[in-house]
Amino acid sequence: LFSGYTMVGVPNEAFKDGYKALRWIPSKLFMAFGYMCTSPRLRRISLIRHYHSPLDFITDRFRSQFLRYSIFVILLVPSIIYLAAQPITLKGNFNDLFGLEDNNVIAPVAICAFILVLEWIGGLNVVAYTDSAQGILMILAFVLMSSTLCHLYGGWGSDIFNPKTYPAPTFFQVPSTEDQVAMWSFSLQWISFAALPHFQQRTYASGEFKSMKLAYFVISLAPWLTMLVGVFSGTLGVYLLQGQETSNPFTGVVAELMSASGFGYVAGLLILVGSVAAIISTADSLLIATTHMVMSEVVNPAMKNASHARVSFVSKVVSFTVMALGLVIALTDDGALSDLAAVQNGMCLQAVPTLLIGLFFAPRYTPHAWIIAVGALAGFITTVVINY
């Protein structure tokens, strides 16, 4: 829920497309729905069968190496793309905030290196502890951002948003049929998030079912806070930043907030820190889950007799490679975050039927594993061709 998409992508999209950015609310709710449909049964099975890797269930259920490694590729690529979205956000935030050129790469490279070192030192424990602190900080940032902006400028009902005087009156037009279809297509794809490695890793690592129920409540409620604040700040930014050239409206709105008052300055600092916390939280989770999947499915089977020290060294090489790939994509991609999300979700969506068939189909009604694999790979290749 809290990532570069949430903190920066949503305000920037709202600045550009207006209330069409509200599509992020059903998107996150579909994500929560997919997770709630699959994680309870997957968690129960994992306790009995002792799963650890995100692909353990697929391997155990279908007993097919072809399907196993087909799903491995299908989940690996969108995980790296999702990881890449975090440095993209970092670059935009830091460069705008400190007046650097858009192509300056110091901030994303430095913070990615910092995340990598933390992962090497602490592993999953670092993610567990920092996620809690970062989550509290991010919620505080959203509350401060919404309350401070409303206090200073008024809400959507203020004169600023009068359709007759608002700088972008087209925002108040009813979306076309094509736009509405695109909105629901984008939103439905987020059901695929349940298949991503870092979500499945959290399912396996959860302590009791009570904690999972609390997680369901939080991920169902949070979009109404996070996404609405993002859309509001983006649409307000159209008024605050009119006549200004900006590549990152989110930091522009925060800068206006910081210059408005002393309290606004403090709130703006916390919001910026919260945005960095959101990005780091998502990046380290993805890095650990992706590295774990690569080690479990590729490296460990090939190094059965290797020493612990050698395996540990290789795991560091793998995590460095994953982070480097994400960083390269981030520094070379010039598309919008929402476009990157659509590609990522379209790829990941191809793994969802395999997960659902495995969880809910009786063996006698289950298609042959090769049929499932060919269908998933065909969908994956089609997604790549359509988008690239």
Looking at residue 108, what is its pLDDT? 81
- pLDDT band of 68, cuts 50, 70, 90: very high
Question: Mean pLDDT throughout 347-356?
Answer: 93
DSSP for 181-237, written as a single string: HHHHHHHHGGGGGGGSHHHHHHHHH---HHHHHHHHHHHHHHHHHHHHHHHHHHHHH
Looking at residue 67, what is its pLDDT? 96
Looking at residue 335, what is its pLDDT? 57
Report DSSP state, residue 146: H
Distance CA 300, CA 310 (A): 11
Looking at residue 248, what is its pLDDT? 81
- pLDDT band of 4, cuts 50, 70, 90: low
- Count each helix (H run) and each strand (E run) in the chain, helices first: 17, 0
Question: Mean pLDDT throughout 352-369?
Answer: 93
Is pLDDT larger for residue 268 or for residue 156? 156
Give yes or no for a contact between 302 and 57, defined as CB atoms under 8 angstroms apart. no
Q: What are phi and psi of 247, to 5 degrees?
A: -95, -10
Nearest by Cα to 75 from 358, 347, 295: 347
The fraction of the chain above a pLDDT of 70, given in percent, is 91
Looking at residue 75, what is its pLDDT? 94
pLDDT tens figures, 110-148: 888 888 887 777 655 666 666 666 667 777 777 888 888
Q: Please state which of the ranges 30-34, 91-95, 383-387 shows the lowest mean pLDDT.
A: 91-95
pLDDT tens figures, 80-101: 988 888 887 777 777 776 667 7
Name the most confidently modeled range: 2-11, 14-23, 138-147, 243-252.
14-23
Looking at residue 127, what is its pLDDT? 60
Residue with tokens 């509200």: 22
Nearest by Cα to 349 from 301, 302, 295, 387: 387
pLDDT tens figures, 162-179: 998 999 999 999 989 999
Above 80 in pLDDT, residue 6?
no
Q: Please state which of the ranges 10-24, 96-110, 224-238, 320-334 shows the lowest mean pLDDT.
A: 96-110
Distance CA 119, CA 132 (A): 16
pLDDT tens figures, 34-61: 999 999 999 999 989 989 888 999 999 9
pTM here is 0.86
pLDDT tens figures, 317-343: 999 999 999 888 888 766 555 566 678
Round the CA-based radius of gyration of the chain to a whole number and report it.
21
Above 70 in pLDDT, residue 103?
yes
- pLDDT band of 246, cuts 50, 70, 90: confident
Give yes or no for a contact between 337 and 86, defined as CB atoms under 8 angstroms apart. no
Above 60 in pLDDT, residue 274?
yes
